[in-house]
Chains A and B, each alone.
Chain A
C-alpha cells in the first residue's frame, strides 16, 4: 500500500507517464472523448427545451416571426407576454391559487410531520411500535382512485382547496427521514433537559427543532415542489375553473392548446405562442429556483429512504 501511494504521488508530478486511477491506467483519449460526447448529448437534450421555452417567452414578436416560431436566444428581451398573463384573468388567478396552496400546504406539512416524527422517536413509549407500523405500512399500498375520490366527496371537499392541501400533508417517507434525525440526538441531552424541568414541547422546540432545521427545510421544500406541481388531485377534485391551480391552467392552454386570448383582460394580446411559453415558464421557474437547495440534500434523503424503507 505504501509503495502504491507513493507511486501515484510521483506519477502526478511527471505528466508523461500514464495517470493511475484506482491503481489502473486511465482510459485512452478516444474512450474519454466518446464519454464526453455522450454526456454532452444528454445534457443538451435536457437543457435545450428549457432554453428554447424561456427564450421564446422573452423574445419580441418580430424575432419570433422571423425565426418561424421559436427563438433560442432573445435579441431584444421583452416581458409583454408576462405582462399580459399577469394583468388579471385565468392565469393570474391560478398562479395566486398555486402560491397559496404551496405555502399553506408545505408549512402545515412541516409542522405535522415534525410533531408526528417526534412522537414516534422514542422507543419504549406507549404504543410506539404499533403506531410506527401504522405509519410505515402506508408506503406499501394505495387505497385507489375511486375510494379516495368518494372520501373527498363525503367530506364535502370537492371544489375546495383543502382537497389539494390535506391529503399529501403526511407521508411515511418524510416521517422516517425526520424521525431518523430526531433519534440521532443523544439521549443524554434529552434526559438532562427533562431533569431541568423541560416538558415534551420544550424539548421539541428548544432541542430537537434547532438541531434538525436543515432536514425540516428539505422536507418543506420537497413538499412545496409537490404542492406546486400537483395535477392529479386537482384534476379529480377541482371542477370549477375559477378555482384551478396553475397545473390545470397549463394543461388547458398549453397541452390542450385551448385559445387563451379571450380569458385575458386588455386589448392588445401577444401571440398565443408567447403566452403559452410564458405560462410554461411561470410553472417551471419556481422549481428551478429551489432546485439548487434541493440538490444539496436529496441524495442523502434518497439513500436514507432506501436503507430504512
Chain B
C-alpha cells in the first residue's frame, strides 16, 4: 500500500472500515465502559426515584461495611476466600492429573471417547448442573431411592449446610475438570517426541519421561492458569451458590457476589452494594497485575508481556 499517510489522509481512506466496526464498538463501550463510570454510585446515596446524577455525594460512607467490618460482610468475605482456596488446592490440580492420565493412554480411540464424555458437562449451565445434582443426590434423588430399595445407607447431602463446601467443590469438579484438561493436553501435544525418545535412550522409563519432559512442558500453562485463577479469587460462581443458598442458609453460603446481589438488587441498598463490588473489582484487577509481575520475575510468560 501507500507510504505512511497523515492521520487525516488515513481517516479519509479508512472511514468506511471504521463504520463497519462501529456497531460492535458502540456495544463494547455501552456495556463495558459506561457501567464502569456507573461505579460513581458507590460514592453516592442512590435512591430509585433519583437519577444517578441527582443522588447526593456521600464520600466513603458506603464503604463503611468494609472498613468497619460489618459481620455479614466479613462472613461473605471469609466464605469467598475459603471456597476460592479449596478450588485452587483441590480443584485446580485435578485437570492436570487427568490430562497426564489421558495423555498416557495408548489407544487414540479410547482417549477420544473419554474426552467427548468428560467435556460435555462444561456446556451445561449451573441451573442444569445444580438440578442434576439434586436429582441424583437429593434426599429423594436417584441414589437414595435406589439405596432405600437395597437397604443401603442413605445420603443427606443436598440442603445439608455441613456438607455445602464438599458439595459445591464436587459440582465444580464434575462440571469443569474435563474441560480443564484441554489446555494441558494441547501443551503436551506440542512436545517434540524426540525428547521422550532421548530420555528412553538414556535409560529412563515412563516416569522419568513424565518428570523431565511432560511436566516442564506444561509448567508455563500451569503458571498462566494460576495467575488467571488468582485474579478471580474474590469471585466464586454466583449462579452455583445463589441457586443453592435457600437450602443451606447464608451463614455457610453467602459469598461476595451473592452479598452484592442480596443487599443491592433485593434490599435496594445500591450504593453500599456497588461499593463492595467496586472494591472487589479493583482488588481482583490488582491481583492479576501483581501475579503477572511475579510470573515475569520467575521467568515465565504470564498473560501479557508488555503493557
Contacts and interface: CB of A to CB of B under 8 A. Distances in A.
B209 A142 contact: no
A78 B7 CA distance: 69
Interface stretch (A112-120, A211-219, A260-268): A112-120
Interface string B8-31: 001101111111111111011111
Interface string B241-268: 0111010000000000100110011000
B174 to A, nearest CB: 7
A154 B52 contact: yes
B163 interface: no
A234 to B, nearest CB: 10
B73 interface: no
B123 A125 contact: no
A121 B54 CA distance: 42
Interface in A139-170: 140-151, 154, 166-167, 169-170
18 contacts: A24-B206, A39-B110, A43-B118, A49-B135, A68-B146, A126-B10, A127-B18, A134-B25, A138-B28, A140-B288, A141-B285, A143-B32, A143-B36, A147-B35, A225-B123, A302-B183, A303-B182, A306-B224
A254 B141 CA distance: 12
User: Interface on chain B toward A: helix, strand, loop, or mixed SS?
Assistant: helix
Contacts of A19: 106
Contacts, number: 287
Sort chain B's interface into a size bin. 35 or more
A36 B262 CA distance: 46
Interface in B131-187: 131-136, 140-142, 145-146, 148-149, 174, 178, 182-183, 185-186
A35 B260 contact: no
B24 A113 contact: yes
User: Interface on chain A toward B: helix, strand, loop, or mixed SS?
Assistant: helix
Given A52-B136, A69-B145, A283-B128, A291 B120 contact: yes
B28 A134 contact: yes
B145 A306 contact: no
B300 to A, nearest CB: 14
Interface of B: 1, 4, 7, 10-11, 13-25, 27-39, 41, 46, 51-52, 98, 101-102, 104-106, 110, 114, 116-121, 123-128, 130-136, 140-142, 145-146, 148-149, 174, 178, 182-183, 185-186, 193-194, 196-197, 199-201, 204-206, 209, 221, 224, 238-239, 242-244, 246, 257, 260-261, 264-265, 270, 273-274, 277-278, 280-281, 285, 288, 303
